[in-house]
Homo-oligomer: A and B are copies of this chain.
Amino acid sequence: MFEVAELGHKINKKEYNQQVPELRTALLDIQEELKEADFPVIVLVSGMDGAGKGATVNLLNEWLDPRYVRTFAFGDRSDEELERPNYWRFWRSLPPKGRIGLYVGSWYSDPIAQRAANKSSDADLDRQLLRIKVFERAMVDDGALIIKFWLHLSQKSQAERLKKLGGDPKTAWMVTKLDKKHLKNYAHFRAIAERTLRGTSTGPAPWMIVEGTDAYYRGLTVGQHIRDRIRQRLNGAADRKKGKAEAAIQPVPIKKLTVLQHLDLSQKLDKKDYQTKLETYQSKIHYLGRMAKEKKISSVIVLEGLDAGGKGGLIRRIIPALDARNYQVIPIAAPSDEERAHHYLWRFWRHIPRAGQVTIYDRSWYGRVLVERVEGFATPEEWMRAYAEINDFEEQLTNHGTLLLKFWVHIDQDEQLRRFKEREKISFKKYKITAEDYRNRERWDDYEQAVNDMVERTSTEYAPWIMIEGNDKKFARIKAMRHYCQRLEQALG
């Protein structure tokens, strides 16, 4: 989920200074228009310690017309507040129509802090998140626009920041004991953050994760996103008056690094090394697979990737290590009539393996947010809500004890073209290449954006995406098999 926010997004000072004046004007214009609108705007700025929550809110206050914004930073409850139900203070603070409420501390603060301090359990947290959903739902149903930012910092960035602050006597006081403790508990906190975001990233009130390391990037991204979301809504409200249904909230594409650009596709294995490792991992999978069968641990392996990425070859290397009675490979093509008459997840639920069995999906439910999104087979409403549906589905699988491995096998454009040409020369592979395959290449950028969003929204603690650099098939196969072995070993204890 946070992968995309650890790629090192940066904007230099020059570009920042170029863009800010325009952004400020746009924000002020929008506020002017908003004053007459019939909805309030609720902006939450949450995130990791040191990811720049305070700085961001200060910046926004500088950019916006302060007469029509109120900033709230909820800390401990006052006497007055303690004597009423917890949400009393939040209800009181809500901005009226036409105004913006800016929240640094919010209804998220306490539940997260309590869980982080182990004063509550995951179940408690879930209950509080449910309350939050009900609360936000009521606001949204009433017309409110909710914009939620999560400022993220990788563990490395957080450590560097504390070191830098602590090293300078002028700033050393800023490093609190709590900061140090949080750094120590980084993994714990990150898992809580993920759980929180996953549980509350609803269709109408989604989270926007922003990398917090670079102040220029962070400020500009937040400001632009606020601008675009309010603008979209103001336009939507006009549409609504005309009786048209409002468009689903689409993630506003801000030019950013994608996880795919970050892959080092030059990674290789030489043939000899490959042969040795292939044999090792095949026998390892064979052995571990038998143990898993005995212990009734099932596996679901999902293979996704661009055309000619090498998914088929990978499957053919894993299969020899498995017992034919224990696995099935499900190739996902266009749905059957019967499948089409059901919810799109129905066809995948069908093939969930029994205890100790393995199901390999060659393409999967992710088609909904990849090809169906890019080609327009699914409406924005449909693929937008699919992220949450998929997360829920996978959580049920993994809660049941099923091992779930999700591989994205990636190649670059040149390599794909080379493979297409090569296939056309080999008779038995020729049928695999059609004019459509070439057409799909024109949508490369769209697919890249779709993959990026998919990883951001569905790479979870319990089912992370494993990105496989696939330009070298040998490297790709070994990396995937190694991961499968590791996960099996982990599960077998």
The verdict on A14 contacting chain B, using a C-beta distance below 8 Å, is no
The reply to whether the CB of A83 lies closer than 8 angstroms to some CB of chain B is: yes
Cα A353 to Cα B84 with chains together (Å): 7
Chain A, range 383-415, C-beta contacts under 8 Å to B: 385, 389, 392, 396-397, 399-400, 402
- The residue of chain B having its C-beta at the shortest distance from the C-beta of A347 within the complex is B91
8 Å CB contacts to B: which residues of A198-243? 243
B residues less than 8 Å from A349 (CB atoms): 87-88, 91-92
Contacts A94-B346, A352-B84, A352-B88 given; does A385 touch B130 at CB 8 Å: no
Contact B342 A96 (CB under 8 A): yes
Q: Tell me if B346 and A98 are in contact (CB < 8 A).
A: no
Once A352-B84, A354-B80 are accepted as A-B contacts, the answer to whether A341 and B126 lie under 8 Å apart by CB is: no
Query: CB of A432 within 8 A of chain B?
Result: no
Copies of this chain, complex-wide, total: 2
A138-B85 in contact given A92-B350, A126-B130 (Cβ < 8 Å): no
Q: Report the Cα distance A243→B346, complex, angstroms.
A: 28
**Is A338 part of the binding interface, using a Cβ–Cβ cutoff of 8 Å?**
yes
Q: Are B142 and A343 in contact (CB under 8 A)?
A: yes
Interface flag for A344 (CB, 8 Å)? yes
Q: Is the CB of A142 within 8 A of B97?
A: no
Among residues 33 to 92 in chain A, which have CB atoms less than 8 Å away from a CB atom of chain B? 40, 80, 83-88, 91-92
CB neighbours (8 Å) of A400 from chain B are 84-86
Closest to A337 in B: B96
Determine which residue in A40, A83, A126, A353 has the highest number of CB atoms from chain B within 10 A of its CB, and name it: A83
A127 interfacial contact with B, CB 8 Å: yes
A245 located at the interface, meaning its Cβ lies under 8 Å from any Cβ of chain B in the complex: yes
- Residues of chain B contacted by A97 (CB below 8 angstroms): 341-342
Contact mask for chain A residues 346-367; partner B; CB cutoff 8 A; 1 contact, 0 none: 1001101111000000000000
Residues of B within 8 A of A94 (CB): 342-343, 346
A400 to chain B, nearest CB (A): 4
Contacts of A385 in B (CB 8 A): 141
| Interfacial chain B residues near A127, Cβ < 8 Å | 123, 126-127
Interface residue? A139 (CB, 8 A):
yes
If A92-B350, A139-B343, A245-B245 touch, whether A87 touches B389 (CB-CB below 8 Å) is: no
**Within 8 Å of chain B (Cβ to Cβ): is A159?**
no
Is B85's CB under 8 angstroms from A402's CB?
A: yes
CB interface residues, A 123-162, toward B, < 8 Å: 123, 126-127, 130, 134, 138-139, 141-142, 144
A356 to B, closest residue via Cβ: B83
Q: What is the size, in residues, of chain A's interface with B at 8 Å between Cβ atoms?
A: 50
CB closest residue in chain B, given A82: B355
Interfacial chain B residues near A392, Cβ < 8 Å: 134, 138
Judging by beta carbons under 8 Å apart, are B138 and A338 in contact? no
**Please, which residues of chain B bring their CB within 8 A of the CB of A92?**
349-350
Q: How far is the CA of A353 from the CA of B80 in the complex (A)?
A: 10
Check A296 for interface membership: any CB of B closer than 8 A.
Answer: yes
Inter-chain contacts of A350 with B (CB < 8 A): 91-92
Q: Is A257 among interface residues, defined by CB-CB distance under 8 A?
A: no
From A133, which residue of chain B is reached at the shortest CB distance?
B130
Please name the residue on chain B nearest to A349 by beta carbon: B91
Instruction: Tell me, yes or no, whether A321 is within 8 Å of chain B by CB.
Output: no
Q: Let me know if A433 is at the binding interface, CB within 8 A.
A: no
Which B residues are CB-close (under 8 A) to A83? Answer: 296, 298, 354-355
What are the residues of chain B within 8 A of A352 when measuring CB–CB? Answer: 84-85, 88
A345 at interface (Cβ–Cβ under 8 A)?
yes
The residue on B at minimum CB distance from A138 is B389
Contact of A397 with B98 at beta-carbon distance under 8 Å, contacts A91-B346, A123-B123, A349-B92 already known: no
Nearest Cβ in chain B — how far from A79, in angstroms?
9
Chain B nearest CB, measured from A101 CB (Å): 11
Cα distance, A321 to B47, chains bound together (Å): 51
| CB atoms of A85 and B397 under 8 A apart | yes
- Using A88-B349, A96-B341, A138-B343 as known contacts, list a sample of 10 further A-B pairs with CB atoms less than 8 Å apart, ordered by residue number in A: A86-B400, A92-B350, A96-B342, A98-B341, A123-B123, A123-B127, A139-B343, A141-B385, A144-B343, A245-B245
Q: Could you pull out 19 A-B pairs where Cβ atoms are within 8 angstroms?
A: A83-B296, A85-B352, A85-B399, A85-B400, A87-B349, A87-B396, A88-B349, A88-B352, A91-B346, A92-B349, A92-B350, A94-B342, A97-B341, A123-B123, A134-B392, A139-B343, A142-B344, A144-B343, A245-B245
